[in-house]
């Protein structure tokens, strides 16, 4: 691929995010009653709102089935698909639903269950602390680790590229 990252970003219409290890630091608190809690970065919400303003769709696609994922997605006003055993098939279905190609999709992941999505999208992104097995696939790796502003970093990258593009068109 000869395109630079700015050219690729300008084509993206959907960003799909894994949850654990991307929105979180990949840690889980397990309480005596078996319920779980995770730690997320609050400013991710501001970044995701910026993407919405720019007309970029967002979604969480998670292998896990956990009420905490639904709660966070609801707070962020994001679509969320959980308990997804075939993330790539779901991503293909979403692209078709939105009438876009996988070349117009970015995927943000961190682990081997994200590999098939990272391999098929126009912009594969991993967080700083992604596992080596997927880090090599990425065209962009965040400076921040998962759960520490990596989602916000991706959102700000898109905002910077797309708003600069709009300024040069004026």
Do 73 and 80 meet the contact criterion of CB atoms below 8 Å apart? yes
Residue predicted with more confidence, 45 or 167: 45
Distances (CA, A) of 37 to 23, 71, 83, 97, 108: 13, 11, 17, 32, 22
| Residue 168: predicted pLDDT | 59
What share of the chain in percent tops pLDDT 90? 91
Per DSSP, what are the bridge partners of residue 79?
59
Distances (CA, A) of 166 to 105, 159, 163: 20, 10, 5
Q: By residue range, what is the domain housing residue 114? A: 5-169
Tell the residue number behind the tokens 């970003």, with chain if given. Answer: 9
Q: pLDDT tens digits, residue range 25-51?
A: 999 999 999 999 999 999 999 999 999
pTM: predicted TM-score of the whole model, two decimal places: 0.94
| Strand extents, DSSP E, the chain | 14-17, 29-30, 36-37, 57-61, 79-81, 105-109, 123-126, 140-141
Q: pLDDT tens digits, residue range 108-131?
A: 999 999 999 999 999 999 999 999
The residue-averaged pLDDT of 97-107 equals: 98
CATH number for position 10: 3.40.50.1000
Do 99 and 118 meet the contact criterion of CB atoms below 8 Å apart? no
Structural domains counted in the chain: 1
| Residue 1: predicted pLDDT | 44
């Amino acid at each position: 691929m000869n395109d630079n990252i700015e050219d690729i970003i300008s084509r993206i219409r959907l960003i799909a995010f894994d949850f654990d290890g991307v929105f979180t630091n990949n840690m889980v608190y397990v309480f005596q009653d078996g319920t779980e809690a995770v730690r997320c970065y609050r400013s991710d919400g501001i970044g995701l709102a910026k993407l919405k303003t720019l007309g970029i769709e967002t979604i969480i696609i998670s292998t896990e089935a956990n009420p905490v994922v639904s709660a966070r997605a609801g707070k962020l006003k994001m679509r969320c698909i959980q308990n997804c055993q075939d993330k790539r098939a779901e991503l293909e279905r979403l692209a078709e639903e939105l009438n876009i190609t996988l070349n117009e999709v970015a995927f943000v992941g961190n682990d081997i269950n994200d590999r098939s999505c990272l391999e098929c999208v126009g912009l594969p992104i991993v967080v700083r602390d992604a596992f080596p097995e997927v880090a090599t696939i990425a065209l962009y790796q965040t400076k921040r680790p998962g759960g520490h502003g990596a989602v916000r970093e991706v959102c700000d990258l898109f905002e910077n590229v797309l708003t600069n593009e709009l300024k040069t068109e004026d």
